[in-house]
């Protein structure tokens, strides 16, 4: 039964990928006349529709808690558990960051650009300032951008420290921060043991996930943080960290949080 489930999901994902490419090609051609807008609203809609389909095909049962800021673009910051985080959070309408090298990849790089991905060059003189400016431009053009301040994945049961430099665009350009907490749960409401990939390869983890009939996902949108009230990136990072950790590890007492 599990093998059949995996095969069916792979076929459906392959078909979805083809349809996504076709739709992006069609609307990218229509968008060529406007050289000032690389991502049209229609392309954003396709991106969101495609990611929602991925969530459904994979077998994720998504429960969204809180208010999704539809008309108020912001820098979305979230804990990072799995590759599933991209379709899960992206299904609510947000652009992503990626290293600049991926833009040169055949098909994937082009699709990422047309889907609104912000490509960032790492390292080098002034790279962080350029990245900050690109993110701000994207958000000011009415498209929220998602970042993972931990800069790595975890087992989902707790958070690693947030890198303050990721909050530079908010401090530099006065952007609002939208904290988001992701929890992958089993039917009993416990943390799902198979979502975090640990030492697994991507392909191995993908097959593991596709073999599951249902994975519950709780996506919590927490109160927006006004970056203009902070003078330092570290302070802003700590505020977002505390909000998200309160959801990810709710059993922690105030004293335990202070000691950790």
At 163, which CATH number? 3.40.1130
| Count of domains observed in the chain | 1
Determine, yes or no, domain membership for 212.
yes
Q: Please list the pLDDT of the chain residue by residue as tens digits (260 residues).
A: 899 999 999 999 999 999 988 888 887 766 554 444 557 788 888 889 999 999 999 999 999 999 998 889 999 999 999 999 999 999 999 999 888 888 887 777 777 887 888 888 876 667 788 888 989 999 998 999 999 999 899 999 999 999 999 999 999 999 999 999 999 999 898 999 999 987 888 999 999 999 999 999 999 999 999 998 888 999 999 999 999 999 998 764 343 444 44
Determine, yes or no, domain membership for 170.
yes
In angstroms, what CA-CA distances link 10 with 45, 83, 193?
23, 16, 22
Determine, yes or no, domain membership for 130.
yes
Determine, yes or no, domain membership for 114.
yes
Q: Domain range holding 177?
A: 2-249
pTM of this prediction exceeds 0.75: yes
Determine, yes or no, domain membership for 11.
yes
Secondary structure letter of residue 125 according to DSSP = T
Determine, yes or no, domain membership for 254.
no
Yes or no: say if 53 and 123 are a contact pair by the CB < 8 Å rule: no
Determine, yes or no, domain membership for 243.
yes
């Amino acid at each position: 039964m599990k093998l059949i489930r995996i095969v069916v999901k792979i076929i459906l994902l392959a078909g979805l990928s083809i349809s996504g490419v076709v739709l992006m090609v069609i609307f990218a051609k229509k968008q060529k006349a406007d050289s000032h807008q690389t991502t049209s609203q229609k392309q954003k809609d396709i991106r969101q529709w495609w990611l929602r389909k991925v969530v459904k095909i994979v077998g994720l049962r998504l429960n969204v808690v809180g208010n999704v800021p539809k008309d108020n673009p912001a820098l979305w910051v979230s804990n990072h558990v799995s590759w599933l985080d991209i379709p899960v959070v992206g299904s609510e309408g947000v652009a992503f960051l990626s290293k600049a090298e991926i833009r040169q990849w055949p098909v994937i790089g082009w699709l990422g650009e047309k889907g609104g991905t912000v490509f960032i060059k790492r390292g080098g003189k002034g790279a962080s300032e350029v990245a900050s400016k690109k993110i701000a431009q994207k958000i000011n053009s009415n498209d929220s951008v998602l970042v993972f301040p931990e800069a790595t994945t975890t087992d989902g049961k707790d958070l690693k420290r947030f890198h303050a430099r990721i909050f530079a665009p908010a401090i530099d350009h006065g952007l609002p921060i939208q904290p988001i907490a992701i929890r992958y749960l089993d039917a009993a409401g416990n943390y799902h043991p198979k979502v975090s990939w640990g030492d697994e390869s991507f392909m191995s983890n993908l097959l593991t996930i596709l073999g599951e009939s249902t994975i519950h996902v709780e996506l919590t949108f927490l109160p927006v943080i006004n970056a203009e009230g902070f003078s330092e990136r570290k302070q802003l990072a700590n505020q977002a960290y505390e909000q998200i950790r309160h959801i990810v590890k709710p059993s922690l007492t105030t004293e335990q949080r202070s000691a950790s």
